[in-house]
Amino acid sequence: MSALIGLLGVISLVFFLIHMIPGDPIDVMLGESALTADREALRQGLGLHLPLYEQWWNYLTALAQADFGHSLFSGRPIVDLLVERIPTTLHLSAMALLVAIIIAVPLGVVAATRQHSVYDYGSMGFALLGISIPNFWMGPLLILVGALWLGWFPVSGQEGWNAVVLPAFTLGTAMAAILARMIRSSLLEILGEDFLRTARAKGLSPTKAIFIHALPNAVLPVLTLLGLQLGGLLGGAVITETVFAWPGLGLLMIEAIQQRDYPVVQAAVLCISMTYIFVNLFTDLLYAWLDPRIDWQNPS
Amino acid sequence: MVTMVWLSLFLISLTSGCTESTPETTIRFGLANTPTNLDPRYATDATSARINRLLYSRLVDFAQDASPIPALATWEVLSPTHYRFTFIEPRPTFPDGTIITAEDVQATFVSILDPKTTSPHRGLLANISRIVTPSESTIDFFLTHLDPFFAGSISIGILPANLIASNHPFHDQPVGSGPFLFHHRPDDTRLILKRRQDNQLVELIKIPDPTVRSLKLLAGEIHLLQNDLPPELVSYLAARPSLSLQQRQGSNFAYLGFNHQDPIVGKHLVRQAIAHAINREQIIHFVLGGRARPAQALFPPNHWIGTSQLLGYPYDPAQARALLAQAGFNPRHRPTLIYKTSTDPFRLRLATIIQDQLQQVGINVSIHSHDWGTFYGDIKTGHFQMYSLAWVGLKTPDIFRQAFHSHSVPPRGVNRGRYADPTTDRLIAEAENTPERIQQQALYRELQTRLLDTLPYVPLWYEDHFVLKTNEIEGYTLHTDGNYDGLLHVQWASASRTHSQLARQATP
């Protein structure tokens, strides 16, 4: 219920904000030389002549019937646009997540188990770099190395299985940096716990103790962060999608904002909000699966 | 087992978002934007217009001096309000093999004029009262009043009548009789066309970031790109041995616009001071890399109404200061202006240079950059003091009425600065009502002199067009208006060698 209220709030807020910002879609669609009668006809045809609250109500009513409407510019049904763009964004997000986990887990573990060593400083230094380097710089840098110097990957676009590697690394490294720091601090807390000392006393090797006992216990706070990060990724990695000409949800939304394509912006924001809600829900469910102490049916 | 499941998911994820590749022989053209609408009845953006030229044929085209010339048909002016167009044989065909007919032309224009279509071009063609097809190869247009530029205003792609009747989605699946056929559109960033004469595939790829577009050209993933690159990138790429640069003088007119109702820039002396304060030669040389020429008027000298006799405002900071003093300003009482521009980094850079040059003569400038929708909305509603923009693809002199006539304040026209000058209004009306081209030419030249004197705009420059291409292809030629007609003749360098060798062998 609270998720639904949140969703309604986001939809309404975006609806009113996008209508408040200056710029008229009719101008962008028809240009300035169009006849006044035509402008009015189009305005009426699109329902933009109605009072804002009425437009909002009409929009919600249509939405309740799963009718997202049509793009004001291309005239295409918005559902078609979303169906094209969402899998593309999902693909990139999944790969970025994979890259982030592959980088973050070993870095975080090494930094925690060898605290204050050169490995720790090296890992955290890398993490700091990852957080600090903006995607609009990291993207072209990776293109230069991976595509131009080594020739292993295409510069941009979606053609071929390896086209996702560079954008996934661009997104994944920033995410890995945050995750690695989180894994390190979480693991440091766990490493001092009694159950781990007991496991070691029973003769378990340090590697097994860490990966079988410590890491699963350290993963809960990481999971929260991962959920938020994944929500952000699915919501559209706008800069990365622009740099790599990756036709995902973020790029669609930016183009729609520039063109004042109200229905597309609203639909894209709705998708992003729903993504956040579902990812958070999924994270909560994962908690229970990872930690048997959490019982959603008997919270007490 | 669990590992296998994860591995399968990984592989599915790795391949699920990929799109198909085009054959190696496809010529790839990098664009900053993809066309928003492939239906010529609706297209208004430059990219759509340029691509629609390739997909659809039209009755009338434009010569190098922007005079209207026959494309599909020749025309006779039977009376000032009656134009007859007759097809030139042989006529092109639609993809299904049917020849373009007078009925198709009639259906296209009737559809544009239908208010239900809400075509942005209806306003331009509102002068048409009736369209008649006396024969299958003749079309008569009857006008409500005299319009000496009518032939130029119907340069719109012709659609097949039967598909118009069936509401075919041309915006998505274009069907025309142009030199290219729509092949397919794998995703929103890619459009593949097939050249009719030799089935050569040409892929138009949207790559929004200019740096990435350049890197893609360097990597050989695209074979050419045209315009929309910062000058420093053009110079860098032009120096690469694998690439070559072609340039051509353009007609896109960059200018500074003013709000004539503003107490500061509404003063003629202030606008004159601004015109003298801007060192255009220096900006063109150092910032635009020499790829522009100073402008004095809306149309360049090579346009049929253009003139090279306009003297303009030379860079003269002392004169600018003197004019400001005459306008009542001095170093202790400096005018402060808000300069609106878009968020485009290059336009912002130009704005900061102009800001500095105006600062040097005693004009404080505050730059306000906004996203395109906000910027355009502000310009249209007159919420500005000064702004910079460019007119792209201007062909016919009817722009003078739209941009400078006192009755053309938005929404009735594009006189965004609310400029009002009775002499300008008179000259526009006289030129429009003069059927003789020579007299018209003289009147428009007088009008341009008047505009340069009164300065509704401070003319800046005409940016050149350029194309950067890999040495793998050849035969691409640039056009003054920056269209993509060069794709009609572009070909693989090796293929062209083979063709020329074959031609030489065949020639005794």
Q: For the segment B174-228, what is each residue's pLDDT rounded down to a tens digit? A: 999 999 999 998 888 899 999 999 999 999 999 988 999 999 999 999 999 999 8
Give the mutation candidate from A29, A89, A99, A159 for the B interface (greatest B CB count, under 10 A): A159
Of chain B, the end-to-end C-alpha distance in Å amounts to 73
Residue A26's closest CA among B373, B154, B383, B394?
B373
A156, A169, A230, A251: best mutation site toward chain B, by most B Cβ within 10 Å?
Answer: A156
> What residue of B is the nearest CA neighbor of A37?
B115
Query: Nearest residue of B to residue A92 by CA position?
Result: B17
H or E stretch at B185: strand B180-187
Position B19 scores a pLDDT of 62
**CB neighbours of A221 closer than 8 A, spacing ≥ 6?**
A182, A186
Question: How far apart are the C-alpha atoms of B333 and B270, rounded to whole Å?
Answer: 14
The identity of residue B19, as a single letter, is: T
Percent of chain B past pLDDT 90, that is, above it, reads 69
- How many A-B residue pairs are in contact by the CB < 8 A criterion? 163
C-beta atoms of A33 and B188 within 8 A = no
Which chain A residue shows the shortest CA-CA distance from B190? A157
A213 vs B367, residue with greater confidence: B367
**Using an 8 Å Cβ cutoff, are A10 and A277 in contact?**
no
How far is CA B368 from each of CA A278, B148, B346, B387, rounded to the nearest angstrom? 40, 41, 14, 9
Of the two residues A46 and B98, the one the predictor is more confident about is: B98
Which residue among A94, A155, A252 sits closest to B215, beta carbon to beta carbon?
Answer: A155
State the nearest Cα–Cα gap between B110 and chain A, in angstroms. 15
What is the Cα–Cα distance from B442 to B439, expressed in whole angstroms?
A: 5
Instruction: Give the pLDDT mean for B33-54.
Output: 90
The pLDDT score that the predictor gives to residue B497 is 47
Do residues A239 and A139 lie in contact, with contact meaning Cβ atoms separated by under 8 Å? yes
Does residue B9 have a pLDDT over 90?
no
Q: How far lies B147's CA from each of B117, B141, B442, in Å?
A: 24, 12, 18
DSSP 8-state class, residue A158: S
Nearest to A23 among B188, B189, B377 (CB): B377
Residue-level pLDDT at B218: 93
Q: Which residue has the tokens 């909560």?
A: A284
Residues of chain B with pLDDT > 70, as a percent, come to: 93
User: Three-state SS for B11?
Assistant: helix
Edge-to-edge strand ranges of the sheet holding B128-135: B73-79, B82-87, B138-143, B128-135
Which chain A residues are closer than 8 Å to B172 by Cβ? 74-76
On the 0-12 / 13-18 / 19+ scale of CB atoms within 10 A, B31 is buried
Is B204 in contact with B11 (CB distance < 8 Å)? no
Query: What chain A residue is nearest to B21 in terms of C-alpha separation?
Result: A159
From chain A residues 222-251, the ones with a CB under 8 A of any chain B CB are 242-245, 247, 251
Give the model's pLDDT for residue B160: 96
Instruction: Report which DSSP code applies to B117.
Output: G
pLDDT of residue B1 exceeding 90: no
Task: Name the DSSP class of B161.
Answer: H
Check: CB of residue B358 under 8 Å from CB of residue B278: yes
Give B238 to chain A, closest Cα distance, Å.
Answer: 17
* Cis omega (within 30 of 0) for bond into A25: no
pLDDT beneath 70, residues of chain A: 1, 32-33, 235-236, 294-300
Mean per-residue pLDDT, B14-32:
76
- Is the preceding omega at residue B411 within 30 degrees of 0, hence cis? yes
Give dist(CA A207, CA A170) in Å, integer.
30
Q: A29 vs B120: CB contact, 8 Å cut-off? A: yes
Q: Give pLDDT, residue A296.
A: 59
Over 90: is that where the pLDDT of B116 sits? no
Contact with chain B for residue A147, Cβ under 8 A: yes
pLDDT of residue B505: 40
Tokens 């030129």 -> residue? B431
Residue from B13, B28, B5, B190 nearest A164 by CA: B13
Give the C-alpha separation, A151 to A191, whole Å. 43
Contact A248, A241 (CB under 8 A): yes
What stretch of H or E contains B178?
A: none
Retrieve residue B493's tokens. 């360098």
The span from the CA of A295 to the CA of A299, in Å, is 6
Q: Which has the minimum average pLDDT: B194-203, B321-330, B410-419? A: B410-419
Residue B85: band (very low, low, confident or very high) from pLDDT cuts 50, 70, 90 = very high
Average pLDDT taken over every residue of chain B = 89
pTM: 0.82
**CA contacts within 13 A on the Cβ side of A146:** 21
d(CA B7, CA B73): 63
Query: What is the rounded average pLDDT of the residues B495-500?
Result: 48
Q: Which residue of A has its CA nearest to B207?
A: A245
Q: What is the pLDDT of residues A26-53, one digit of tens each?
A: 877 777 667 777 788 888 877 888 888 8
